[in-house]
Structures are given as structure tokens and as C-alpha cells.
Amino acid sequence: MSDELIAASNLISLLIEAQEDALATIKAGNKPESELRLQLLGAKSELTRLTRQIGRVPKEERQKIGPVVTEIKRSIEDALNAIATDAPPKNSDWVDVTTPGIRPPEGHLHIVSQAIMEVTRIFERIGFTRVRHPEVDWDWYPFESLNMPAHHPARDEWETFFLEYPGKPGKDPHKQKIVLTPHTSNGQVREMEKGKLPIRMINIAKCYRRQIDVSHTPMFHQFEGLYIDKDVSIGHLKGVFDHFVKQFFGPNRETRLRPFHFQFTEPSFEVDINCGICLGTGNLANGSPCKLCKAGWLELGGSGMVHPVVLRNGGIDPDIYSGFAFGWGIERTYMMKSGTKLDDIRLLYSNDVRFLEQF
């Protein structure tokens, strides 16, 4: 016998053919049962010949074959028993039903992929479509176009990686410097430039910042929401956030806005979510203070109404259209939800299989 491999699916189809042949032969009814039994199930039967090929199926797939053979043999036995005049009482084979079952293969999606899929679905439900914009971009999109000219102190918030220019810069003032995007907000003006209104987008991408510690990795992911239409209000922004947190974190979760400042939104907000343990009261049922949140609320991320300068940079008239935007960390948001108790975000990118296989 050859030791070359054959695919499980091929062997199974041969086995099924053999089964069909055998059942047809029994049905034809021109031979006695005992002779048929030898011919169809004996050592020289086609079924036995095929069964011996199992060793050539790749190890990982072999477990698929056993149940098929058992089932085929049983069906042939049953057919033979049915035509036997002197058949013995039905003798069902004993099976140890406590034997561990045969499981399907188990793979694992990384937490980041799981979170991205979940976030995408939640926003799709209210008409936001996922798009992709560059992770490596001209300085213009993540900074200048967002109302942050060179040397502006607001840029301090982002420890930005710059790239060596590939060759010599041309004359285009918007194409002088290349950065690793420190946030997904570079997608805002890029999305506006597509020239279609209204806009409801979710941009999910890798981001980069020059920092590493237990809560920062130099690469991470953000999801950026952008909604632009006529008469977009702060109330709409709250509605969308409430939709998201209820779907993502649970129906009794709520958001609140606090004043903040970003150059590319006005007004700007810090978005908090009520603590999942004490639901925003800061106290547990027994009156003791909640240890998770300290004051009832946890910071989710930043957001705001799109700044008129940004709208203009995207070719949109701020006197006709308004909108809101937000950009939150995928890893951070997911860790707040799952209660994974992950105390070091760097684990996510360590790619230790003992970690990856837990999810």
C-alpha cells in the first residue's frame, strides 16, 4: 500500500459509492443472505479494501472517516438482516457513549478581529458602513486638515512616528511629510473628499504612537465614526453612543458627555460610560464604594461636532451641513467590555499561542 496521502473527502465518496453498490446488490435479491454477507462485508469486500486506506488520509482528517464506515456497515447489516429468513434477533453493537466525542477543529480569531467585527455590525445596524483609509498617510490628513498646523501645541497629544520621505518631495504642499497615522481621524477629510453626502462611516484601522507601557503599544487599533448631514445635533451624537454602548456593553449601560477640547471638533466631548458594576452610582448595593470605577463612570473616548474648518477642508459648507465624529481604541473598548482582567495591553501583540487560544 502506498503511503502517499489522499484527501478524506475522496475516500468518503468512494465509501459511499461502495455502500450504494452493496445496497443495490442486496435489493436485487438474487443471492442468499449468507453469501451476500461474505461478499459485501467479508475480508475481500470492496468496503474492507477501502477501509484499509484510512491510514493514507492525513492524520488530522482521519477522525472524519471512522463514523462514516460505522454508519455504512450498520446500514448494510440492517439491509442484510432484513432479508435473512433465519436472521438472529437484532444484536445492536454496544457503544461506550461516555467516550469523548469527536470535535470539529477549533481555531481562534484574535481579540482585535473579534472586536472589529462586533463594532462593525453594531454600526451597520444604524446605517454606518465600514470603510478603509490609509494607515500611512500624508501629514495633511491626520493633522493639518484637522485644524492642527505644524508646531501647534495640540499635536503634543500624539507621539507621532514620521517616515523618511521616499525620494524627494514634490511641490504639493499637502504631500511634504509622511506619518504613521496616530489616530483614525485622517479618514475624516479623506471620506469627505469622496464627494458624497450624507456620510455615515466607520473607519477601522491600525494606528501608531511612540509609546509603550502596560496600557500602550506602539501599534493599536481605532474605530472612527463620522456622521455628516443637515441638522446633525448633539442629541444625535448621544443617541448613536447610547445605541453603541447598549449593544456592545449591555442594555443598562449609558453614556454621558463632558466638555473637552480637540482642534478638529467644536464642541468637543469626553465620553464616559456608566460603570457596569455600580451602574453609575459609585456605590454597591450594600452601600460600600465601587472599587472598579471610583466614581460611577469610566472614560470611553473623545468625540465632538466636526469643526467648520475640517468641513471646509473636506469641501463641505459648514453653514449647510454639520456632523459629529469620534475615534476610540478597539483594544481599550474591548477590554472594558469583556472584563478580561487583562492588565497589560502588550500581551495582545505578544502572539503567545497560550494566550491566543484562550479566545
Partner 1 sequence: MNILVPDIWLRKYLSTKATPLQLKEYLSLCGPSIERIYGEGEETVYDIEITGNRPDAMSVMGVAREAATILPRFGLPATLTGDPYKEKVKFPTVKKPLPLTLKTDAELNPRWASIIFDNVTVGESPEWLRHQLELSGLRSLNTVVDITNYLMRAYGQPAHVFDYDLIESHKMTLRASKKGEKLITLDGKSHTLPGGDIVIEDGSGKLIDLCGIMGGENSSVTNNTKRVMLFIQTYNASHIRKTSMALGHRTEAAGLFEKGLDTELVTPVLMQGMTMMTSLTGGSVASNVTDLYPKPFVGEQVSVSRKKINSYIGVIPDKEIKEILVSLGFTVTMHADTVSVRVPSYRRDIAIDVDIIEEIARIHGYHTIPSKLPDHAPPVTMPDPQLQLEEQIKIRLRDWGYTETYTYSMISEEQMDQFNLDKTRAYTIANPLSAEWMYMRPTLWPSMLATVKTNLERVKNGKFFELSMSYLWRPGDLPAETPMLLVAYTGDKFLEAKGLMEALFDLYGIPEPEYDTTAHHDWLDPSRTLLLKGFGSVGLLNTTLSKTLGIHSPVTILELNLLAFAAQAKAGKTYIPVPKYPSIIEDLSFIVPDKFEIGRLLSAMRKAHPLVSRVSLLDVHKETRTVHIEYQDPAKNLTGEDITPIRKKLIALAEHDFGLTLRQAAITA
Site residues (CB under 8 A) for partner 1, limited to 84-113: 104-110, 112-113
Taking each helix axis as running N to C, give the angle between helix 111-124 and helix 234-249, from 0 to 180 degrees, rounded to the nearest 10. Answer: 130
DSSP string, 160-187: --EE--SS---S-TTSS-EEE-SSTTHH
Classify burial at 318, counting beta carbons within 10 Å of its beta carbon; exposed 0-12, middle 13-18, buried 19 or more.
middle
Is the Cβ of residue 101 or residue 127 nearer to partner 1 in the bound state? 127
Longest dimension (CA), the chain: 98
Could you say which residues in the range 269-288 bind partner 1, by CB under 8 A? 269-270
Q: Which stretch binds partner 1 (CB under 8 A): 6-14, 35-43, 69-77, 91-99?
A: 6-14
- Is 356 an interacting residue with respect to partner 1 (CB under 8 A)? yes
C-alpha cell at 185: 481621524
Could you say which residues in the range 286-345 bind partner 1, by CB under 8 A? 295, 305, 307-308, 322
Q: Please, what is the minimum distance in Å from the beta carbon of residue 211 to partner 1?
A: 7
Is the Cβ of residue 90 or residue 168 nearer to partner 1 in the bound state? 168
Q: Please, what is the minimum distance in Å from the beta carbon of residue 341 to partner 1?
A: 20
Pairing of strands 178-180, 162-163: antiparallel
Cα gap 121→132, rounded to integer Å: 15
Cα gap 81→93, rounded to integer Å: 14
Is the Cβ of residue 21 or residue 78 nearer to partner 1 in the bound state? 21
Cα gap 65→11, rounded to integer Å: 8
Is the Cβ of residue 73 or residue 200 nearer to partner 1 in the bound state? 200
Q: Please, what is the minimum distance in Å from the beta carbon of residue 212 to partner 1?
A: 7
Residue showing cell 472594558: 336
Could you say which residues in the range 11-70 bind partner 1, by CB under 8 A? 14, 17, 20-21, 58, 60
Identity of residue 348: L
Q: Please, what is the minimum distance in Å from the beta carbon of residue 263 to partner 1?
A: 8
Q: Please, what is the minimum distance in Å from the beta carbon of residue 198 to partner 1?
A: 5
Cα gap 273→255, rounded to integer Å: 4
Show the site string, 112-151: x = touches partner 1 by CB under 8 A, - = not. Answer: xx---x--x-----xx-xxxx-xxxxx------------x
Could you say which residues in the range 197-256 bind partner 1, by CB under 8 A? 197-200, 206, 208, 210-212, 217-219, 227, 229-236, 238-243, 256
Give Cα 18 distance to the centre of its chain.
43
Q: Which of 89, 101, 153, 287 binds partner 1 (CB under 8 A)?
A: 153
- 303 phi and psi angles, rounded to 5 deg: -165, 180
